[in-house]
Amino acid sequence: MPVARYFVTLFLLLGVLYAALFLGNGSNAPRLGLDLRGGTTVTLRALTESGDAPNAQDLQVARQIIEDRVNGLGVASAEVTTEGDRNIVISVPGEGGEQVKQLGATALLELRPVVLDPQTLGAATGSGDPSATGEVAPADPNAPADPNAPADPNAPADPNAPATGEPTAQPAAADQTANARPLPPLAQTEAPASDTPATDAPATETPATDAPATDGATEPPATGDPAAPNPTESAAPTQSIPLGAATQEEAAAIAAQLDCTVANLNATPPGAEQYMAACGPDGKYVLGPVLIKGTQVKDASSGYDTQTGQGWIVSVEFDNAGSTTWANYTGANVGARVAFTLDQQVLTAPVIQQRISGPTQITGQFTQETSTNLANSLKYGALPLTFTQSEARTVSATLGLGQLQAGLIAGAIGIGLVVLYCLIYYRVLGIVTIISLALSAALVYAVLVLLGRGIGLTLTLSGIAGFIVAIGITADSFVVFFERLKDEVREGRSMRSAVPRAWTRAKRTILSADAVSFLAAAILYFLTVGEVRGFAFTLGLSTVLDLVIVFLFTHPIVSWLSRFSWFSSPLVSGLGRGNHGATERAGSKVDRARSSRKKVAGAAASESAKERAAARRAALKEG
């Protein structure tokens, strides 16, 4: 293959890479990792009822779910690893840390009938958010949510649109009639017996119409000072209290002791299969048994409702069993309220308008970020463990910049030493080495930026260390080739004939060395996690690009230079010692040949003289 074709191939490759770099979307600089540009590290600690370490398999499942949630947020180069026997560590570079701090939520979605609402309980001590009341109604099938539409705070409100905070749905056209068997009313369901004494204060009768229960009349709420025991009386304030088999009166009594002003600590207690008291955006609720669990969620997505102006919504699709239960319940309980709870906190509690058999839309005071977080949490499943955030550490960008500068200084020193050695020892070949390293750096930079855009690859301190090590590997390839060339010249061959012979011998050594380096990098990448993987990736990438440079530039340029007579000069090529030794050996061979010829000529002359003397003596005797 002519030398020109190698150069054309190399520069065509560079042209394509840099065209994609400058003409594509995104930054033209590499993505920096957590240790270089700053970021957040969140440590989640698993909680168990016994206080012992959780099951290792459950911890791995939780780690995978959290990693899926992080990836669903589009956070680049986040690391989710286990630490010890109960910790999960999430590391996120840049400004995505606040989102990640919420990923430890269990994300246990439940649909429960509303037995007593804040108005009935008379304890609306919410946080001041808009009301969670609304309606469950079919959505317009011709008005799909736009996931990319921005919210317009100045848009006029539609007077016919449902109230903010209501879930709506898209029922199937064939499922508009309610033929399903209705569920029994909660108020008529016999509560299991409880050893807990009832309240001391007499209960006050309340009309059933004042408290929109799930179906029919409800039992009267308890008033006065509740005497029912509080299972969390000695613990810190909470936002939800599961009651197990508690009665409706006990649930109402315990609801009075809830503190809806504290933040959720992500230490969610186990769910209650019967009644429970929980907080919502507008106050306290008493909820009935679970209708549908989060494990029955088939898919979830977020989007912006551009038709009704409800803002950001979350669409939830149930599996077959969940869809059947939901359709039956909504068909049999039109006019009742149902609560959507996440991690035992009420998201919204709308009024059922008609039977719903299709996907259900959850609406509330969502932003794009919160709706995406909720959709991802529901989509990827509930965590098998409950976590509390034990540590949240932020690395400043200033510290990361200092580390980056230190790494670049170390790399510059290494490159400087390699360049100095090559110029002193190889001269013109040293210049070839410098140009080869520059082209290798150009390739590495372009590939690093493009991989950052494509797969979210980030440059970390360990990655910089991998590149610095790769400088030595690349320079070693040049040294192997040049030393083979020196050996050929010492054998007395001309520079032009020595180059192909030296390349044939050096090529096998270079391929073997780079194969070992790449294999080591691959083993490190697949068997390790975290920063070691970053080192292994950059080392493997640099090894591959080293082969590209050696085969497409270094060997062809040396072959081209060998055609010029001036390159054979010992002072120019840097192979002076080899050339001088070859000249001495060639001169000694000529001297030995001349000496041999002289000896042969002398021997022949002496033999001829002896023959002539013998002939003269014979002639004299005959005469």
The answer to the question of residue 369 being in a domain is: no
Q: Give me Rg for the CA atoms of the chain.
A: 41
pLDDT at residue 181 tops 80: no
**Range of lowest pLDDT (5-14, 125-134, 270-279, 610-619):** 125-134
DSSP 47-98: E-SSSSPPPHHHHHHHHHHHHHHHHHTT-TT-EEEEETTTEEEEEEETT-HH
Return the exposure string of 378-400: e unless at least 16 CB atoms fall within 10 Å of the residue's CB, then b.
bbbbbbbbbbebeeeeebebeeb
Q: Do 591 and 509 lie in a common domain?
A: no
d(CA 523, CA 478): 26
* DSSP track, 251-280: HHHHHTT--TTSPP-S-PPPPPSS-EEEEE
What number of CA atoms fall less than 13 Å from residue 318's CA on the CB side?
25
Length of the chain measured in residues: 623
Helices (H) and strands (E) in the chain, counts: 16, 19
Count of beta carbons in the 10 Å neighbourhood of residue 580 = 13
Question: DSSP string covering 152-210, please?
Answer: -TTSPPPTTSPPTT--EE---GGG-S--SPPPPPSTTSPPPP-SS---SSPPPP--GGG
Q: Is residue 376 part of a domain?
A: no
In angstroms, rounded to a whole number, what is the distance separating the alpha carbons of residues 79 and 391? 16
Band of residue 254 on the pLDDT scale cut at 50, 70, 90: low
Asked if the structure places residue 164 within a domain, the reply is: yes
Please say which residue of 395, 412, 444 terminates a domain: 395
Q: Which one is predicted more confidently, 541 or 69?
A: 541
b/e per residue 226-249 (b: at least 16 CB within 10 A) = bebeebbeeeeebbbbbbeebbbb
In a shared domain, residues 418 and 512: yes
Please give the pLDDT value at position 16.
93
Per-residue DSSP letters for 100-152? HTTTTS---EEEEEEEE-HHHHT-----SPPP---EEEEPPTT---BTTPPP-
Beta carbons within 10 angstroms of residue 68's beta carbon = 17
Using alpha carbons only, give the angle 386, 390, 394 rounded to the nearest 5 degrees.
125
Q: Give strand pairing partners of 44.
A: 88, 389
CA dist., res. 455 & res. 364, Å (int): 34
Q: Highest mean pLDDT range out of 173-187, 370-384, 463-477?
A: 463-477
What is residue 150's predicted lDDT score, i.e. its pLDDT?
44
CA-nearest of 371, 493, 322, 502 to 429 is 502
**First vs last Cα of the chain: how many Å apart?**
83
Q: Is residue 228 helix, strand or coil?
A: coil
SS3 state of residue 284: strand
Angle (nearest 5°) at CA 383 between 378 and 384 = 140
* Range of the structural domain that residue 543 is part of: 3-28+396-574
Which of 574, 591, 606 is the C-terminal boundary of a domain?
574
Distance, CA of 90 to CA of 79 (rounded, Å)? 6
Name the residue type at position 45: R
Element (H, E) at 338: strand 338-342
Residue 622 covered by a domain: yes
Is 333 found in the same domain as 227? yes
Asked if residue 139 and residue 277 are part of one domain, the reply reads yes
From the centroid of its chain, how far is CA 126?
37
Beta bridge partners of 528: none
- 295-300-306 Cα angle (round to 5): 150
351 and 247 co-located in one domain: yes
613 and 568 co-located in one domain: no
Among 405, 407, 327, 401, which residue's Cα sits nearest to residue 360? 327
- For residue 532, the model assigns a pLDDT of 83
Q: Same domain for 208 and 118?
A: yes
Q: Where is average pLDDT lowest: 366-380, 400-414, 498-512, 568-582?
A: 568-582
pLDDT at 193 over 50: no
How far is residue 451's CA from residue 134's CA, in Å, rounded to a whole number? 47
SS3 state of residue 287: strand
Name residue 361's beta-bridge partners. Answer: 168, 315
Total domains in the fold of the chain: 4
DSSP state of 337: B
At 237 the pLDDT is 39
> Does residue 542 have a pLDDT over 70?
yes
Residue 371 belongs to some domain of the structure: no
For 328-349, what is the mean pLDDT?
A: 85
- Report the DSSP beta bridge partners of residue 32: 459
Q: Decide: 517 and 543 in contact? Cβ < 8 Å.
A: yes
CATH assignment of the domain containing 546: 1.20.1640.10
> Does some domain include residue 381?
no
Does residue 435 fall inside a structural domain?
yes
Domain co-membership, 318 together with 406: no
Residue 552 vs residue 166, higher pLDDT: 552
- Mean of pLDDT over the chain: 71
Whole-angstrom distance, CA of residue 254 vs CA of residue 107? 24
The one-letter code for the residue type at 9 is T
Q: Which amino acid is at 7?
A: F
Helix (H) or strand (E) holding 364: none
Q: What is the average per-residue pLDDT within 251-272?
A: 53
Spatial separation of the C-alpha atoms in residues 415 and 409, rounded to whole Å: 10
Q: Average pLDDT in the 222-248 region?
A: 42
More confident residue, 233 or 31: 31
Residues 335 and 286 in one domain: yes
Show which of 539, 554, 574 is a domain's final residue: 574
The answer to whether the CB of 290 falls within 8 A of the CB of 411 is: no
Look at residue 523 in the predicted model and tell me its pLDDT. 93
CATH number of domain containing 46: 3.30.70.3400
- For residues 543 and 436, what is the distance between their CA atoms, to the nearest angstrom? 14
Same domain as 437, residue 408: yes
Could you report the per-residue pLDDT of 122-155, keeping only the tens digit for each? 643 443 343 344 455 444 444 444 444 444 433 4
Residue 107 has pLDDT above 70, yes or no: no
74 Rama sector, left if φ>0, alpha if ψ -120 to 50, beta otherwise: left
Task: Decide if 377 is inside a domain.
Answer: no
Q: Are 351 and 337 in contact (CB under 8 A)?
A: yes
204 and 230 share one domain: yes
Percent of the chain with pLDDT over 90: 11
The residues facing 317 across adjacent strands are 299
Separation CA 315–CA 363 (nearest Å)? 9
Average pLDDT over residues 571-593: 55
Sequence-separated contacts (24+) of 526-534 with Cβ below 8 Å: 529/79, 529/81, 530/79, 530/81, 531/35, 531/460, 531/461, 531/462, 532/462, 534/33, 534/458, 534/460, 534/462, 534/463, 534/466
- Which pLDDT belongs to residue 295? 76
Closest CA to 538 of 554, 516, 550, 522: 522
Claim to verify: residue 67 and residue 196 sit in the same structural domain: no
